Amino acid sequence: MTPPALRPAHRPARTLTELRALLADLGSVQRAAAADVAAPEVVLHGVTHDSRAVQPGDLYAALPGSHAHGADFAAAAAASGAAAVLTDPAGAAALAGSVDLPVVTTADPRSDVAQVADWLYGQPSRSLTLLGVTGTNGKTTSAFLVDAGLRAAGHRTGLLGTVETRIADERVDSVRTTPESSDLQALFAVMVERGVTAATMEVSSHALAQHRVDGLRFAGALFTNLSQDHLDYHPTMRDYFEAKARLFEPERTAASVIGIEPGAGTWGLELAARVPGSVTYAPDPPADWWADDLTVGARGSSFTARGPRGLAVPMEVRLPGRFNVANALGALALLVAAGIEPRAAAAGIGTLAGVPGRMEPIEAGQPYLALVDFAHTPDAVETVLTSVRGLVDGRVIVVLGCGGDRDRAKRPLMGAAAARLADLAFLTNDNPRSEDPAEILAQMTAGIDRVATSAAKVTVIPDRAEAIAAAVAEAGPGDVVVVAGKGHERGQEQNGVVTPFDDRAVLAQAIADAGRPTGTGR
């Protein structure tokens, strides 16, 4: 169940008349004549898009959805104390006469509710240095690096993303990568109340497409890369790109930083050409920011970041893999673009010892490298397996699955990448959700080139713990085992039931079990 959204201690209080005036200014409704203003005046103390989260005095935004219409839940919202409803014409028609609340109707309430929440909570993002991170892979990692840089520069920070939500020293698990606009604006209001001065947030393509971040003002935004994912939601890669590109519109974002690593295709270059004044980065020149004197190791990398106007900043990043050099460069470039002193930013980046579930080493006394990683796209699987190949002399062993109820087209590509780039691949379950796990695994193996792949190389073991144990049983000195796809997740979801499952604990246990009683490894 979704935990209740955080709300500021100081409740806003704006009238329905003021709300109508705002919506009139946005061109969404006609300005009410004085005679039409309700008496007594309705006062709004909050806003939510979810009837289950309504608090007394809230505006309930009854939004059209893909499963239901929010209007279906307006009676429940009223019972919880909602003061008014914002909805579309279909919602208003459904509500006519059935709910005893004032109803404000606009053509696109999903877009309007973001503006309303920004206004109701006093435009909190404008009191923060707000930095946004988008892209297919590397958002969470980059956001953690940016946050470390902001803290080193003396900011009291907030962080929002897939793994956790942080308000200065308080941390809670995140429900989604980017919250709905009503929850997001309330969260920023809480941050401002608690003295946060700068915040970093991951901005998903779903969030951009669904107007969740409308109304926010970003001091800077970062585009990491774009490759295949979420084609269950976006009709084409171009639609997916255009959703991400919205973050870089000049009215939202003051400074734009764009990854243009050649391996990630040409989307970054296209975006950089579109955004005047944008700054680019990649491990190699001719990007504006690149890594000189680069040394990549199993525990991290060191290099000199070369930037615009002859800037040269010595850097260490304590996250393994060459792709984390790109993430560190992007973080540095974003921080500098937002006015942070480069050496403070670099020092902060160098303090980050790890990101939960991203290239996270598991140390259980074994004579090989064991990593838990969140790769769950074809590009991430390829990037991670290529990267670890350079870190060890031995074999690359991977455990990997694909989530149910998500982009099906990526499954054969992920299976193919694992078979092509690992010495041994164990294909297994990863959150089958409502789908048949055997069918998901069949789609993964369908991508494997049978001619080029020996039968011994790929093993299908649906039970994830058994697959991890099988990988560990194969591992010997100098090898690397990568357990990919679930990262920080703590559950395996099937048919609506989430069973506790943490790759990090299961991998550590498998290593311990393999070491008993005859010693570790082969």
Ligand X SMILES: CC(=O)N[C@H]1[C@@H](OP(=O)(O)OP(=O)(O)OC[C@H]2O[C@@H](n3ccc(=O)[nH]c3=O)[C@H](O)[C@@H]2O)O[C@H](CO)[C@@H](O)[C@@H]1O[C@H](C)C(=O)N[C@@H](C)C(=O)N[C@H](CCC(=O)O)C(=O)O
Ligand Y SMILES: N[C@H](CCC[C@H](N)C(=O)O)C(=O)O
Contacts with 169 (C-beta within 8 Å, 6 or more apart), sequence order? none
Look up residue 12 and give its DSSP letter: -
Q: Is the Cβ of residue 49 or residue 155 nearer to ligand X in the bound state? A: 49
Q: Is the Cβ of residue 139 or residue 166 nearer to Mg ion in the bound state? A: 139
Q: Which of residues 285-304 bind ligand X (CB under 6 A)?
A: none
Q: Which of residues 385-424 bind ligand Y (CB under 6 A)?
A: 403, 406
Q: Is the Cβ of residue 400 or residue 510 nearer to ligand ATP in the bound state? A: 400
Angle between helix 464-474 and 503-514 (nearest 10)? 40
Q: Which of 16, 12, 79 is nearest to 43 (CA)?
A: 16
Q: What is the DSSP string of 285-336?
A: TTSSBEEEEEEEETTEEEEEEE-GGG-EEEEEE-S-STHHHHHHHHHHHHHH
Cα 185–189–190 angle (5° rounding)? 120
Of positions 207, 216, 375, 461, contacts ligand ATP by CB under 6 A: 375
Of positions 431, 445, 492, 520, contacts ligand Y by CB under 6 A: 431
Q: Is the Cβ of residue 49 or residue 376 nearer to ligand Y in the bound state? A: 376
Chain centre distance of CA 260: 20
Q: Does 207 bind ligand X (CB under 6 A)?
A: yes
Q: Is the Cβ of residue 139 or residue 376 nearer to Mg ion in the bound state? A: 139
Q: Is the Cβ of residue 268 or residue 485 nearer to ligand Y in the bound state? A: 485
Binding mask 484-513 for ligand ATP (x = CB under 6 A): ---x--------------------------
Q: Which of residues 346-365 bind ligand ATP (CB under 6 A)?
A: 358
- Residue 463: both structure tokens together: 């039970």
Of positions 118, 214, 373, 430, contacts ligand Y by CB under 6 A: 430
Check the annotation: does 406 bind a ligand: yes
Q: Is the Cβ of residue 118 or residue 430 nearer to ligand Y in the bound state? A: 430
Binding mask 112-131 for ligand X (x = CB under 6 A): --------------------
Size of interface with ligand X, in residues (CB under 6 A): 19
Of positions 485, 492, 502, 511, contacts ligand Y by CB under 6 A: 485
Check the annotation: does 432 bind a ligand: yes
Q: Does 68 bind ligand X (CB under 6 A)?
A: yes
| 158 beta partners | 167, 199
- Is residue 86 a contact partner of residue 61, using CB atoms and an 8 Å limit? yes
> Strands 312-317 and 253-259, how do they pair?
unpaired
- In angstroms, the CA 500 to CA 514 distance is 22
Q: Which of residues 122-181 bind Mg ion (CB under 5 A)?
A: 139-140, 162
Q: Which of residues 160-189 bind ligand X (CB under 6 A)?
A: 176-178, 180
- In angstroms, the CA 177 to CA 140 distance is 9
- Counting beta carbons within 10 angstroms of the beta carbon of residue 353, is it exposed (0 to 12), middle (13 to 18) or buried (19 or more)? exposed
Q: Does 65 bind ligand X (CB under 6 A)?
A: yes
- Residue 203: both structure tokens together: 């901005």
Q: How many residues are there in the chain?
A: 522
| Binds 88: which of ligand X, Mg ion, ligand ATP, none (CB < 5-8 Å by kind) | none
Cα of first residue to Cα of last residue in the chain, in angstroms, is 44
Q: Does 379 bind ligand ATP (CB under 6 A)?
A: yes
Binding site for ligand X (CB under 6 A): 49-52, 63, 65-68, 70, 73, 176-178, 180, 204, 206-207, 233
* Binding site residue list: 51, 135-141, 177-178, 204, 210, 212, 406, 430-433, 485, 489
